[in-house]
Amino acid sequence: MKRAVVLLSGGLDSATVLAMAQDRGVECHCLTVSYGQRHHHELECAKRVAEALGAASHREFSIPLNQFGGSALTADIDVPKDSLAEGIPVTYVPARNTVMLSVALAYAEVTGSTEIHIGVNAVDYSGYPDCRPEFVEAFEKLAQIATKAGVEGTEMTIHAPLIHLTKVQIIEEGLKRGVEYSLTSSCYDPLPSGHGCGHCDSCLIRGAAFAELGLRDPALAPEPEA
């Protein structure tokens, strides 16, 4: 049975990636990289998602990228509300996916995994340089060259199954595989209860997608009764 490292953030996208990987019949070792993000609630969600979807293992790895600052997600910069940003957003974390894939690569070598799965998406996050197909391809080339496994002839592949999907399509992929999206959190600035704020870029994007499917985002707080 092939082994895979699945980068699991606790958000909607990576939960869907895990469900898709499980579907392919690979043994999934989930890795949640905590990089000092303000939305710590996601880390708890990752644990619950890994359990609910029956992953082989789950572990957390902490890299204090917030030491460096430089992003609204890790430093004291306001998260923009109620407006989708143009260009590279302030929520971009310098080299975040490069660092996360590198750590996943180290973990892949240690666990004997030959696949790394990541939920990057080029449609809704076109502003992030490290969410583009050319980034994933460049990292796959690097992974082959950088590792003992690669040098010894094992193919090391990077899977980004969501890269060309819209948020609606991602949710559909997850729903047909039984992902409980109420367990996930994608919010950049969640409420004390852990529910999504409903106003940051991330909440706006997923909220609109659920709405298009005639659903309410299950990660939002329940609506007050009339």
Q: Which C-beta is closer to its own copies: that of 34 or that of 185?
A: 34
Q: Which C-beta is closer to its own copies: that of 123 or that of 146?
A: 146
The pair phi, psi for residue 5, each rounded to 5°, is -95, 125
- As measured in angstroms, the least distance from the Cβ of 194 to its own copies is 26
- As measured in angstroms, the least distance from the Cβ of 82 to its own copies is 24
- As measured in angstroms, the least distance from the Cβ of 187 to its own copies is 23
Q: Which C-beta is closer to its own copies: that of 2 or that of 141?
A: 141
Q: Which C-beta is closer to its own copies: that of 149 or that of 209?
A: 149
Query: Can you spell out the DSSP letters for 165-212?
Result: --HHHHHHHHHTTT--GGG----SS--TTS-B-S-BHHHHHHHHHHHH
- As measured in angstroms, the least distance from the Cβ of 103 to its own copies is 6
- Give the HSE-up count for residue 191: Cα atoms under 13 Å, Cβ half-sphere: 11
Q: Which C-beta is closer to its own copies: that of 50 or that of 103?
A: 103
Q: 196 to each of 38, 49, 91, 148, how far by Cα in Å?
A: 13, 16, 16, 42
For residue 17, give the amino acid letter: V
**To the nearest 5 percent, what fractions of the chain are helix, strand and coil?**
40, 15, 50
The strands making up 27-34's β-sheet, listed across from edge to edge, are 57-62, 27-34, 3-7, 115-117, 157-159
- As measured in angstroms, the least distance from the Cβ of 118 to its own copies is 13
- As measured in angstroms, the least distance from the Cβ of 63 to its own copies is 6
Q: What residues have CB less than 8 Å from 193, skipping those under 6 apart? A: 221
Q: Which C-beta is closer to its own copies: that of 18 or that of 93?
A: 93
Q: Which residues bind its own copies (CB under 8 A)?
A: 61-65, 67-70, 88, 92-99, 101-103, 105-110, 129-130, 132, 134-135, 138-139, 141-143, 145-148, 150-152
